[in-house]
């Protein structure tokens, strides 16, 4: 059983999108003119960066809001920003230096004018730096720009194009020279300026370097002459949008080709509480009521022409489950990983027909569709999958069709959709755990061999060298346990199947020393349970074989476990997902009346230590998987319902 994880930091940084929603200004009209008049309420309120991950102790780049309609004169935000950050009540600009860690949290910004108000959703988290700030000894990696491909116009200042890069401090250089009038800042890497000459599309290689190494990325830049050409196409990130009534949406961003669009309008009027930014086409806000799927035509225009796109919007009550597209094959004991671009990779597993799979599928949250991607080199189930800092996915170990246990590992590259070998572990393993450490290495621990004998060995995968190295062994041999990365960088391993019996014992791995130390034991021995890191740093363990409906909390400060409220249903082979509001969603599993498979789901509230039932899934499921999507929804897929193996999927709308 995998440990449920939060949103991928690497995914959040790479994606950089999350949108904000205007309340009260949802009646935009078609037109070719500029912004709405001063008498119109503010609309389409959103930020330059709607989904951001900051580092503790590092001053942030000010985040500036944008809206159309009447000018906003006062801003407010709830809940309070992380310590060290503040919002300017007059301008809405968020700035400061984070002074405390903060989990992924959805904030609501309210902007007021004399004509009305608009709201926007903003996701912020604060993480500890993987290396000390300013450390020049770490080579840069994963260099990218907010705009990798851009078309600029002579005489029009370009929006500053900002880079993102991992590693130590770097300096920037570009070859060949940028188009006339544009320049790169060697310290910040920001590209800015006003183009002065027309230039055809060219490839400009930007290199970020320090004493330890270099990373490069290629920008495609062209400069066109005025007057603007007509826009050629218009589309939206979410053409099939699914929202919860009363909850701020992630802004739905447009993409277009051809000439720049200068004005946007929509017909019919968007659902109450949603609005469109007449200047950049962003759809944002907080829907106020439920409605079935309805189509809205967005038109974007400039002085030379217009294009249109159709967006379907469905609004359901919070806590609703909605079917989405189905995978190409039924799967149990597979892996599901959210990629940096927001898509979901599922790989391997057992199809219920006696075959172990090497196939993989990609889920697109914008369309709700699954498409096949490259197949793994090995068939495998009960393996692990880990998203690496460079955006690739490491798959390791597992069981083959013949029942043999694997030591082989491989890497999935989202850029090419292909798999390449990644060396072999020192031990064959199935039912093990894999944890991404703060230094970018992957800790693999425990598991069993072909005789179902638990292992106590552990090893590290280094993406920089592609090699596996043994590290300290656990005090207890175990498989089907959980592993949780704690805020201090240590790894908590708990429960599992031991050599002679189920385990209640837990222990901590210290990456600084490569050693394991016992910590407090759980109140119940259990395996096939779930473990979830809560926003306060405690770990919630729930259910599992031996655990029934019980749940308990591990406190890293004291190294002790304490019972917390019990679930409404006993569960094994269930899932647990941490939601943006800090609650934990538990779904399905086996353990109902007569040991039946469950469709029931429930929520754990850390503030009260209690469980409450929420909407039931459309299908009973066990041995399925669940991932938190970048827009806050939860995707459930696969598993089995008694004797029926499933390829179906559905979405939970918080």
- Give the model confidence (pLDDT) of 454-470 as tens digits: 999 999 999 999 999 99
pLDDT of residue 205 exceeding 80? yes
How much is the average pLDDT of 305-322? Answer: 97
CB 651 within 8 A of CB 635: yes
pLDDT value for 2? 33
Which tens digits make up the pLDDT trace of 504-558? 999 999 999 999 999 999 999 999 999 999 999 999 999 999 999 999 999 999 9
Span of 46-55, 133-142, 183-192, 580-589 with lowest mean pLDDT:
133-142
As a whole-number percent, the residues of the chain with pLDDT over 90 amount to 83
pLDDT of residue 76 exceeding 50? yes
- The one-character DSSP state at 595 is G
Cα separation, 45 vs 77, in Å, equals 13
pLDDT of residue 49 exceeding 90? no
pLDDT value for 510? 98
For the record, the structure tokens of 269 come out as 């009027």
Sign of the CA dihedral with 31 first, then 35, 38, and 43 last: positive
pLDDT band with cut points at 50, 70 and 90 for residue 254: very high
How much is the average pLDDT of 20-40? Answer: 39
pLDDT of residue 638 exceeding 70? yes
For the record, the structure tokens of 266 come out as 């929509």
pLDDT of residue 341 exceeding 90? yes
> What is the phi/psi pair of residue 594, to 5°?
70, 25
- DSSP per position, 78-139: ESPPPTTEEE-TTT--EEE---S-EEEEEEEEEEEETTEEEEEEEEEEEE--SS-TT-TTSP
pLDDT band with cut points at 50, 70 and 90 for residue 138: confident
pLDDT value for 51? 87
453-460 contacts at long range (C-beta below 8 A, 24 or more positions apart):
453/477, 453/499, 454/478, 454/479, 454/496, 454/497, 454/498, 454/499, 455/427, 455/429, 455/479, 457/426, 457/427, 458/509, 458/516, 459/425, 459/426, 459/427
Cα separation, 121 vs 250, in Å, equals 6
Which has the closest alpha carbon to 621: 587, 593, 652? 587
pLDDT band with cut points at 50, 70 and 90 for residue 121: very high
Cα separation, 311 vs 235, in Å, equals 8
pLDDT value for 109? 95
pLDDT value for 137? 63
The CA–CA distances, whole Å, from 38 to 45, 113, 119, 120 equal 15, 10, 18, 20
Mean pLDDT (the chain, rounded):
91
CB 585 within 8 A of CB 613: no
As a whole-number percent, the residues of the chain with pLDDT over 70 amount to 92
pLDDT of residue 129 exceeding 50? yes
Beta-strand relationship, 610-614 and 625-628: unpaired
CB 238 within 8 A of CB 311: yes
pLDDT value for 34? 38
Question: C-alpha angle 46/152/48, rounded to 5°?
Answer: 15
Which tens digits make up the pLDDT trace of 437-452? 999 999 999 999 988 9
pTM across the whole model = 0.71
pLDDT value for 592? 67
Cα separation, 88 vs 51, in Å, equals 19
pLDDT of residue 617 exceeding 70? yes
pLDDT value for 130? 57
Q: In which region does residue 391 sit, left (phi positive, over 0), alpha (psi from -120 to 50) or beta (all else)? A: left
For tokens 């830049």, what's the residue? 221
How much is the average pLDDT of 578-599? Answer: 92
User: b/e map of 510-525 (b: 16 or more CB within 10 Å)?
Assistant: ebeeeebeebbbbebb
């Amino acid at each position: 059983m995998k440990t449920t994880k939060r949103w991928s930091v690497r995914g959040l940084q790479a994606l950089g999108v999350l949108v904000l929603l205007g309340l009260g200004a949802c009646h935009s009209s078609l037109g070719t003119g500029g912004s709405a008049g001063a008498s119109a309420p503010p609309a389409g309120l959103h930020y330059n960066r709607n989904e951001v991950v900051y580092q503790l102790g590092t001053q942030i780049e000010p985040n500036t809001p944008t809206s159309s309609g009447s000018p906003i004169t006062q801003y407010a935000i709830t809940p309070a920003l992380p310590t060290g950050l503040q919002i300017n009540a007059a301008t809405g600009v968020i700035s400061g230096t984070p002074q405390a860690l903060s989990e992924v949290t959805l904030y609501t910004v309210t902007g007021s004018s004399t004509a009305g108000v608009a709201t926007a959703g903003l996701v912020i988290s604060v993480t500890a730096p993987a290396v000390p700030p300013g450390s020049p000894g770490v080579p840069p990696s994963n260099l990218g720009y907010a705009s990798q491909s851009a078309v600029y116009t002579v005489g029009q200042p370009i929006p500053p194009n900002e880079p993102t890069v991992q590693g130590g401090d770097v300096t920037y250089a570009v070859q060949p020279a940028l188009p006339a009038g544009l320049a790169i800042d060697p310290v910040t890497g920001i590209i800015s300026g006003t183009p002065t000459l027309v230039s055809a599309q060219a490839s400009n290689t930007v290199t970020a370097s320090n004493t330890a190494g270099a990373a490069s990325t290629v920008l495609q830049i062209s400069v066109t002459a005025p007057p603007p050409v007509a826009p050629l196409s218009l589309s939206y990130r979410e053409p099939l949008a699914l929202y919860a009534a009363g909850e701020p949406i992630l802004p739905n961003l447009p993409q277009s080709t051809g000439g720049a669009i200068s004005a946007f309008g929509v017909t019919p009027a968007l659902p109450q509480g949603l609005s469109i930014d007449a200047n950049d086409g962003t759809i944002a806000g907080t829907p106020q009521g439920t409605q079935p799927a309805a189509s809205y035509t967005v038109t974007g225009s400039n002085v030379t022409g217009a294009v249109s796109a159709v967006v379907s919007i469905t609004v359901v009550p919070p806590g609703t489950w909605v079917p989405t597209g189905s995978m190409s094959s039924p799967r149990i004991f597979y892996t599901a990983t959210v990629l940096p671009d927001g898509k979901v990779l599922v790989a391997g597993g057992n199809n219920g027909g006696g075959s172990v799979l090497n196939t993989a599928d990609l889920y697109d949250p914008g369309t709700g569709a699954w498409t096949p991607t490259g197949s793994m080199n090995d068939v495998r189930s009960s393996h692990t999958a880990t998203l690496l800092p460079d955006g690739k996915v490491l798959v390791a170990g597992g069981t083959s069709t013949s029942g043999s246990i694997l030591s082989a590992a491989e890497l999935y590259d989202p850029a090419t959709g292909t798999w390449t070998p990644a060396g072999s572990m020192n031990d064959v393993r199935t039912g093990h755990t894999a944890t991404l450490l703060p230094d970018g290495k992957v800790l693999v621990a425990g598991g069993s061999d072909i005789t179902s004998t638990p292992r106590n060995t552990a090893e590290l995968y280094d993406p920089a060298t592609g090699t596996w190295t043994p590290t300290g062994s656990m005090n207890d041999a175990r498989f089907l346990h959980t592993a949780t990365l704690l805020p201090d960088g240590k790894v908590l391993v708990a429960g599992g199947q031991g050599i002679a019996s189920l385990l209640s014992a837990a222990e901590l791995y210290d990456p600084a020393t490569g050693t394991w130390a016992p910590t407090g034991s759980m109140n119940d021995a259990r395996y096939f349970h779930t473990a979830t890191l809560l926003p306060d740093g405690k770990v919630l363990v729930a259910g599992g074989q031996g655990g029934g409906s019980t749940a308990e909390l591990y406190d890293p400060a004291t190294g002790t476990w304490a019972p917390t409220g019990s679930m409404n249903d006993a569960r094994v082979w269930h899932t647990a997902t941490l939601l943006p509001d800090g609650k934990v969603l538990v779904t399905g599993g086996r353990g109902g009346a007569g040991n039946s498979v469950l469709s029931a789901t429930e929520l754990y509230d850390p503030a009260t230590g209690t469980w409450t039932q929420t909407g039931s899934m459309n299908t009973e499921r066990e041995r399925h998987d669940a991932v938190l999507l970048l827009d806050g929804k939860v995707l459930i897929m696969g598993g089995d319902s008694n004797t029926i193996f499933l390829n179906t999927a559905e979405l939970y709308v918080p």
